[in-house]
Structure 1
Amino acid sequence: MSFTASLSGINAANADLNVTSNNIANSNTVGFKTSRAEFSDLFSTTSYGLSRNAIGSGVKVSNVAQQFSQGNIDPTGRVLDFAIDGEGFFTVNKNGETMYTRAGNFQPDNRGFVITPDGARLQVYPPNASGSFDVGRTIDLQLATTDSPPQQTGRVDLMVTLPGAATQPVVQPFDPADGNSYNASSGGVTVYDSLGVSHVQTSYFVKTANANEWEVYNFVDGTQVGAPTTVQFDSNGALVAPANGVIAMDPYTPGTGAGVLELSLDITGSTQYGNSFALRSVNQDGFASGKLTTIDVSEGGVVFARYSNGDDVALGQIVLTNFVNPQGLQSTGNNMWMATYASGSPRSGAPDSSDFGRIKSGALEASTVDLTEQLVNMITAQRNFQANAQMISTQDQATQTIINIR
């Protein structure tokens, strides 16, 4: 019995050393979680059950428990390095099998799918037409590899201050080539047709003989689009006509083969004050085609493709998964875990919501191994091993003494 108990102690100490060795070996493994060997005592039973004065039969390894504490978040500057600051696991799919990881060192494959080093694809909620995400299903995250398509301009926003002391131009009729036939101009705004080709839209402001009244002439690439529009202000300089501040231009057909360009000019907020003209704000809602410049990820896990034309396209929202009992997860190697009955059913959601952590882009979660603690554990396990080995040696001497009795 004593030999068996001491042997179990040696086995337990050896298991403790193995766990400590594995922890130390993974001290630099991204997303690694420290394990701890847990033990329980053994008692031999008889047909009459346990005796109140029974002596234990040794020890056994009852569990190797993973410690899912938060690791340090180390910045890397790499776009596809993600760290979870808080609870949850990245959800990945490999050959149809769903697995979970805390290691965010992802990379693109030859088709643009974002994968782990061993090829598991990162799962995201797909974007929908409303601008949000379809949380009812997940897809593989695939980076955009094509150009961003152009967007035709439909609206030009122009906010100006026209001089209240202006008088009607002495040169008439209006001629855009003659600066004496108008009082001010917008200076030209770049707009885009359906092919992403740029054009220049210019508005000219001409004071009429009537008080607080102006005419606005609109041109695209030097061609007048529509008749002049009358603009009126009240005695305090506020815009009163057109009532909604919007001037509709006639359709313009570009010579590029693009579709008809239908523009409206919004001068809401324009005023009539002072002695000089001021262009206070100008904007338009179109853009040319763009090249992919970078991938960006928000703390809420939304993955954006950003283009050279200023367009941002949401590719998906990273899916995080959590469990009632993370220690019940089955480690499968390669920084992966699988759900088990002991872990409970997986519960998925978006980052930075409910009890899920935030996503830190350009950073990785470091291993939770504390080398100092592990080296102390190693010394303790080594002493336990030596003590049990010495116990066997002592028992051997006692047994030899008994055998030698004559």
Structure 2
Amino acid sequence: MKVCIMGMGYIGFPTACLLANAGHHVVGVDVNTAIINSLHEGQLHIVNEEGLAALAQKVFSDGSLTVCDQPSRADAFIIAVPTPFKHSNDNIRERIFRPEASYQADLGYVISATRAIAPFVQPGNLVILESTVPPGTTEEVVVGTLREEGVDTSQLLVAHAPERVLPGNLLAELVQNDRVIGGLTPAAGEAAAALYRSFVRGCISITDAKTAELVKLMENTYRDVNIALANEFALVCEHLKVNAWEAMSLANRHPRVQFLRPGPGVGGHCIAVDPYFVVEAAPTLTDLIQTARRINRRMPLHVVKLLHELEGNQPVQRVAILGASYKADVGDDRESPSLEIAQLLESEGIEVKVHDPFIARYNLPLEDMLRGAEALLLLTDHAVYASLDPNWVRELVSRPLLVDARGVVSLDNWCAAGFQVKILGCGQQLVMV
């Protein structure tokens, strides 16, 4: 088949490579000309994904994948564009305290991509929405937009096929994970499933489009609620002067209990966003989901509170943040709580420097970032931070204060180096004895 994929981001580009490798002729489209130009020059915009560079080189070399900024006629169209949220308040503290009232799904990219393919779709074509969306979007927005553009949608096969992958392991999970395909008609579901079976090895389940849309939201909302529970217990443990990391590790030894890890907040384009789509669809029926969102949204404020407790009567003026990515060992800062914490500190007049080895704009020499810092905030559990030599760090900073929001440092080593340490979820300030 000839497949046109709208959106060359974290999902669209790897999917394009896999479909091309499976024998299809794929055209990848993105309105970001910088991405298209870099791909034409052999430079990938997605890094630290095992096997992706080699696969991309293969499918570009044999001509099975081409990229451009305009769609063309195809047998199947896949829309894999971002679905961020739009908020009604630019004040970060207001957004944190009233998240359910501030956020709505921004379907602008979906609508634009749908309008772009409208002149090229023909009777019998398959149109698949991969973007994570509120329930009903495939039928109401995609089909509705095509109709507005004069397309006879009764002659199309339209389906929703949400991705279920984790950055850092994209290719493996796109191939091995089970998929849920939701067709607006049974024929559309079968046609979409047939296309994905050309490279997916996991089980493919076929349902209706609205169910498939909700399933994706349920999966990420489940994780958000679980993280909120872990974060709430971290706060309880601080109050009770219990080590949350130890307590949760012991609780997880129960065969039917599995806490996720607490942290400075929830980031990424899925878990931090998708619950709002459910709330938007049923605002009076989602008390638990809204509560979980409030807990997780307020964790950046709590990290700032831990810093102020640590500084005591001598307020810090310069802070170094370790980690901009929302997740360990990947270069993805979308909705990252690290950047929110930086913004909160800057709003207090504190000078903030952010380091991250996986994101180019933050990948400055670590030594320069640490020199003269009065406090360190470890906000992303990159392996490079867990293995830092605290004695080397102590020689660079002007004041040995550390807030560890990920529970990854060796306390004995850092305290022995002279640091005062606060750990999220631990109710005692740890100092060198």
Please give the range of the TM-score, normalised by the shorter of the 2 chains: under 0.3
Could you say which structure has the larger radius of gyration? 1
Higher relative CO (Cα under 8 Å, sequence separation at least 6) belongs to 1
TM-score (norm 1): 0.20
TM-score (norm 2): 0.19
More strand by share: 1
